[in-house]
Amino acid sequence: MKRLFIATFVLLNSVAAFAQHTTQEYLRKLSIAEMAINNLYVDSVDENKLIEDGIRGMLEKLDPHSSYSNPKEVKQMNEPLNGSFEGIGVQFNMMEDTLIVIQTITKGPSERAGIMAGDRIVGVADTAIAGVKMSREEIMRRLRGPKGTIARLKVVRSGIKDTLHFNVVRDKIPVKSIDAAYMMTPTVGLIRIGNFGATTYNEFMEAMRRLQDKGMRDMILDLQGNGGGYLQAAANIASEFLQEGELIVYTEGRRVPRQEYRADSQGMFRNGRVVVLVDEYTASAAEIVTGAIQDQDRGQVVGRRTFGKGLVQRPIDLPDGSMIRLTIAHYYTPSGRCIQKPYVKGKQKDYAMDVMNRLKHGELTNKDSIHFADSLKFYTLHEKRLVYGGGGIMPDHFIPLDTTHYTRLHRELVAKNAVVSQNLRYMDKNRKQLLKQYPTFQRFKERFEVPQSLIDNVMREGEKQKVKPKDDEELQRTLPTLRLQLKALIARDLWDMSEYYSIFYEDSEIVKKALELLK
């Protein structure tokens, strides 16, 4: 027995030594190649870029979600998830080459300094930013800066002859991940989550309590277009709908043992009915919440099959601030479904075209085009309802993509910026009058009608961009959606995103189905 133990010990040590020797050989090979290119290649090379390209090259041969980001990309990627950035606190848009303030962030530095919606910021410090064709990214770079520093702004305000000067002390600006939270009926509330970031759970709880105070008994949880984010944020929110101890999701990989996430308390919304809205862009953390609610028979899912992003990435920080996001495991729903859709290693282009392929094959418009193998059948944990694996979450109630609703004309008017630019012009001229005429959103929603002059301006702008209706039939099909979108944009500019969705969702088939299920 002792001899067997010694022999086994020697063998394992030999294998480990061989593996270490092999790894060192591979690294030496890579190092020699890099040195040869850097020192002997006919033209000069950027050594840092050479290394970055080598890292990207290795990762591109793996799955579609393992990736490398340079320091600048890491900062841009983390900002929406970290919940804040440092700047002056305005929402703005560009009209031609001039920055127009849409809204100031409530209690933010610009509001405190006296900046108002409708103001044009024409200069920062001694640099003009209007009329000089400066890129949006460059303007944002000048407006942002470390907390406590001063942005000296030159502002043109309607009705005031002289240029105004403001010293705005930059501060931390919150980035909200709850896009909307409002009552759809006296007892049904809607909460729309844009992504799952560091502050999402607290935002969600605040929104839920506010709506419960207004009488919410049932909830529509809107995850359409939600690309995911932090797993823990998703698990925390799912926990609010479930009984203590119920499984939310588990992860497992080749070198990563199974790790389970369970509801860790009696959730605040365990009793009200829930409908989750999803579409083909609902992904990752959003699919975790959807899968948990569906598998635990806690609510119904309405929409179209979700994206199918079920790979777990571990961030690996590099010394210069860059980062590798390496896939280490898969996500599984409580019933055991793998969320990740199939892919071929190194075929990122095919993977990226998946949603377009779904449209071509008819999956987004016709439920009968969707077929599942028997091996993909799973059952919910309590009511034993049939659900399917194979990538993404298949909804309980399929709502086709209405390709006639958004006409070619409407899509091109939006793409050419005709809708947003003319809405900006309209708001610039009519903001004060609108607020006086419609002091409350409810009054606006009930009585405001988009003027024909605004529609005409959008169509004229489209003609300048060579966008015209094919015939009168296409124009008539476009007008109702165009009017609804413009009314929603005006509501957003006068109030906020909750008011935008309150109007825009009046014509949504997915939302209508959710309300029908909750009647």
What residues are annotated to the active site? 284, 295, 309
**Is beta strand 300-303 parallel, antiparallel or unpaired with respect to 274-278?**
parallel
Distance between CA 153 and CA 405 in Å, rounded? 43
Residue 299's alpha-carbon distances to 124, 218, 480, in angstroms, are: 51, 10, 32
Question: Distance (Å, rounded) from C-alpha 170 to C-alpha 189?
Answer: 35
The DSSP symbol for 284 reads T
Torsional sign, CA 277, 280, 285, 291: positive
Q: Distances in Å between the alpha carbon of 5 and those of 10, 19, 293?
A: 9, 21, 50
Total Cβ atoms within 10 A of residue 1:
5
Read off the DSSP letter of residue 353: T
Q: Write out the DSSP string of 89-105.
A: -EEEEEETTEEEEEEEP
Enumerate residues 6+ apart whose C-beta is below 8 A from 495. Answer: 441
**Euclidean distance between CA atoms 413 and 401, whole angstroms:** 20
Task: Find, among 301, 510, 300, 505, the residue nearest to 400 by Cα.
Answer: 510
9, 11, 12, 15: CA torsion to nearest 10: 160
Beta bridge pairs of residue 310: none
- Report whether 325 contacts 62 (CB < 8 A): no
Query: If you search the block for the tokens 């984010």, which residue do you land on?
Result: 229
CB neighbour list of residue 141: distance below 8 Å, 6 or more residues apart: none
For residue 86, list its beta bridge partners.
172
Q: How many CB atoms lie within 10 A of CB 140?
A: 13
Paired tokens of 118: 């409708």
**What are 79's two structure tokens?**
């900002």
Helices (H), 144-199: none
Q: What is the radius of gyration, based on Cα positions, of the chain?
A: 27
